[in-house]
């Protein structure tokens, strides 16, 4: 029996995708071979990667003047690739500046990595209130290379409800935990990046969507594998790409298209999130630590409403254990913040969220 998997990533995949991948494991598209056995330069795989990109462009509404790259290294490698390609200065030249808005662990790590290559300005942070909100984002200084945000903060459960105004400075966003969860105007951004393992596919594949005029700006000493222009010129096959991950992403995108696209996903995701937030608003045992205006649709943390540290840990441990026994798994919060967290990505059906809300009500009735 399959469980309802609320993991923040790697997350659950749509069951129809898994079933199709299983059926095609030894013979993909009539090729007589698994995608895991295909040459990345073969005609069979070329059809797969081209189909995946075409679906992505259609579903995300990616303009023609943007390139789609399928890379490796996760979003964490993009913390380095972004400054190396958009803001690194040539040897002997003064450091360039870039803006980072600090809204949580991953946003902070992105800024820390960026600071190794340029002057990373952090003019706003929500760390003063445990990252429970999105701070007001000031305009960038003139001449900044880019303006970086983390659109959805997986660990603390916040999201940008509106985008900052950056003038002519390219807006860069980590969309790892909200890609295709609702419509997004790609033209507002210079660059988008995402680890696939939350909404798009399995771990090991990284998506980059970059405006063409931002390609080719890397400093001369940048290693080839860390240059966007190298990957763009080679059609994401400068080296062997994560072929099976690209194939699975293609199946996920087909599933998203069949189920209504980004707009329908957004509607369903709001319904799922509303179920849990409505329960939390009326609960005596649990509460949301996130300010209402900034609550994520994808990652919903909750904590015991009262009690000392020992009492809270007791509640959290008992809740996670009993939930797992009921087939509701991976509800423990991130190790850095504790509490509980339900990640309700695209593949999580509303039935799973209803099961969780019902379990939480029963748990509270037995505990309070």
What are the residue numbers of the active site?
Answer: 106, 174, 198
Q: Where are the beta strands (DSSP E) in the chain?
A: 4-5, 66-71, 97-102, 119-125, 147-150, 152-153, 158-159, 171-174, 191-195, 206-211, 286-287, 299-304, 328-329, 340-343
The three-point CA angle 318-323-325 to 5° equals 100
d(CA 368, CA 365): 6
Number of H-type helices and E-type strands within the chain: 9, 14
Residue 109 has which token pair? Answer: 């790590």
Q: What's the alpha-carbon Rg for the chain, to the nearest Å?
A: 21
Cα–Cα distance measured from residue 35 to residue 51, given in angstroms and rounded to the nearest whole number: 14
Helix axes 74-86, 105-114, angle to 10 degrees: 40
Beta strand extents in 151-215 (DSSP E only): 152-153, 158-159, 171-174, 191-195, 206-211
Burial class (CB in 10 A: 0-12, 13-18, 19+), 217: middle
Burial 304-323 (b: 16+ CB within 10 A, else e): bbeeeeeebeebbeebbeeb
Exposure letters 22-53 (e unless 16+ CB within 10 A, then b): eebeeebeebeebbeebebeeebbeebbebbb
Cα distances (angstroms) measured from residue 276 to each of 6, 188, 255, 311: 13, 31, 25, 23
Contact 140, 147 (CB under 8 A): yes
Beta bridge partners of 286: 304
């Amino acid at each position: 029996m399959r469980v309802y998997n609320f993991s923040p990533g790697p997350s659950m995949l749509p069951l129809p995708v898994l079933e199709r991948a299983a059926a095609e494991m030894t013979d993909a598209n009539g090729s007589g071979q698994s995608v895991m056995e295909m040459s990345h330069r073969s005609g069979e795989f070329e059809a797969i990667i081209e189909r995946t990109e075409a679906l992505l462009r259609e579903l995300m509404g990616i303009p023609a003047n943007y390139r789609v790259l399928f890379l490796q290294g996760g979003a964490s490698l993009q913390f380095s690739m972004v400054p190396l390609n958009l803001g690194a200065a040539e040897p002997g030249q003064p450091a360039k500046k870039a803006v980072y808005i600090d809204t949580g662990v991953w946003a902070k790590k992105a800024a820390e990595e960026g600071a190794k290559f340029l002057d990373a300005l952090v003019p706003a942070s929500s760390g003063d209130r445990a990252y429970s909100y999105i701070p007001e984002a000031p305009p960038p200084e003139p001449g900044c290379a880019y303006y970086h945000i983390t659109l959805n903060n997986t660990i603390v459960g916040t999201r940008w409800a509106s985008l900052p105004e950056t003038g002519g400075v390219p807006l860069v966003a980590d969309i790892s935990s909200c890609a295709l969860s609702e419509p997004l105007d790609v033209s507002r951004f210079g660059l988008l990046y995402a680890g696939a393992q939350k909404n798009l596919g399995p771990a090991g594949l990284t998506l980059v969507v970059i405006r063409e005029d931002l390609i080719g700006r890397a400093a001369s000493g940048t290693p080839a594998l860390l240059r966007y222009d190298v990957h763009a010129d080679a059609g994401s096959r400068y080296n062997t790409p994560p072929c099976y991950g690209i194939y699975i992403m293609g199946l996920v995108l087909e599933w998203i298209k069949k189920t209504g696209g980004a707009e329908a996903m957004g509607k369903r995701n709001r319904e799922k999130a509303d179920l849990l937030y409505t329960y939390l608003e009326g609960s005596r045992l649990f509460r949301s630590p996130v300010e209402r205006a900034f609550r994520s649709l994808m990652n919903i943390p909750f904590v015991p409403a009262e009690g000392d540290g020992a009492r809270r840990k007791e509640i959290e441990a008992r809740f996670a254990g009993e939930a797992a026994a009921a087939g509701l798994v991976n509800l423990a919060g991130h190790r850095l913040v504790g509490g509980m967290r339900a990640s309700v990505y695209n593949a999580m059906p509303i039935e799973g969220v209803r099961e969780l809300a019902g379990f939480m009500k029963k748990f509270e009735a037995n505990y309070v």
